[in-house]
Amino acid sequence: MTTALFRDDTITRARMQTIIAAHPRAAIFEGCTFDHGDFSRLDMDGFQFNQCSVTGANWLAASLEETRWLKCRGGQCDFSSALLSDARFSHCDLNNSHWRRATLSSVQFHDCKLTGAHLQEVTGWALEFRDCLLVSADLRGLSFRKADLQGMDFSDAELSGCDFRDAVFTGGSLRNAQTRLTRFEGADLRGTDISGLNVMDAKLFKKAVISQQQAAAALAAFGLIVA
């Protein structure tokens, strides 16, 4: 089937339904506007979104598997309960977006801004983040076990109940993150800012690796002087 290209259009729900019927899995949107549109429960598997505006758009329970999102911007957009397996998000600005109960198996987020995003209760495996801002995001219960976390900024994020066992941090920050019942056993934390974390809780940080400088800072936070 020939791929259909839509450029610089404003896409409404009715328009999207027409596109889906005529071009299943074969539509590309470039510079289009989806702001505050309702696309909930529609089947848009395989579609591509390049430099589109999706501010406040509703993708609730939509099927968006194998979609591609490049340089899209859209604060407050809602992907709750959406099916997003094998989707790719690159260089997107999705601050304060909602992803609760979304299916994110094999989803990749590369160089994305997700400040204040809500990712509670998401499901899936092989979820990959790289060079992303997750400042003040709510990631409660998310698993990053054995992940390679490069350039990830989790500053002030809600990480309670997350699993970072055997993860490797390269750059980025965990500064002042909320880590109640978060697991860091075997994690390599030497390459990240851990200011404000209670790494002295042996139950959560068993066999985790930190640098001498990080250890000194952690002890100083408890009033101890390393001489």
> Is it the case that residue 227 has pLDDT exceeding 90?
no
Structure confidence at residue 1 (pLDDT): 64
> Is it the case that residue 29 has pLDDT exceeding 80?
yes
User: At 197, is the pLDDT very low, low, confident or very high (cuts 50, 70, 90)?
Assistant: confident
- Count CB atoms within 10 A of the CB of residue 6: 18
Dist CA 102 CA 62 (whole Å): 10
User: At 30, is the pLDDT very low, low, confident or very high (cuts 50, 70, 90)?
Assistant: very high
More confident residue, 70 or 214: 70
The residue ranges of DSSP E strands in the chain, in sequence order, are 4-7, 27-30, 48-50, 68-70, 88-90, 108-110, 128-130, 148-150, 168-173, 188-193
Burial class (CB within 10 angstroms; exposed 0-12, middle 13-18, buried 19+) of 118: buried
Mean pLDDT of the chain: 93
User: At 202, is the pLDDT very low, low, confident or very high (cuts 50, 70, 90)?
Assistant: low
Hey, CA dihedral for 96, 73, 145, 201, is it positive or negative? Answer: negative
What's the pTM value of the predicted model, to 2 decimals?
A: 0.91
Q: Which two tokens stand for residue 225?
A: 């002087």
The mean per-residue pLDDT over the stretch 40-56 comes to 98
> Is it the case that residue 77 has pLDDT exceeding 70?
yes
Write out pLDDT tens, residues 138-160.
999 999 999 999 999 999 999 99
List, in order, residues 6 or more apart from 109 with CB less than 8 Å away. Answer: 89, 92, 128, 129, 130, 132
Q: Which two tokens stand for residue 190?
A: 């030497």
User: At 2, is the pLDDT very low, low, confident or very high (cuts 50, 70, 90)?
Assistant: confident
In Å, how far are 120, 152, 158, 193 from 98, measured between CA atoms? 9, 19, 14, 26
Structure confidence at residue 222 (pLDDT): 62
Q: Which two tokens stand for residue 185?
A: 């056993």
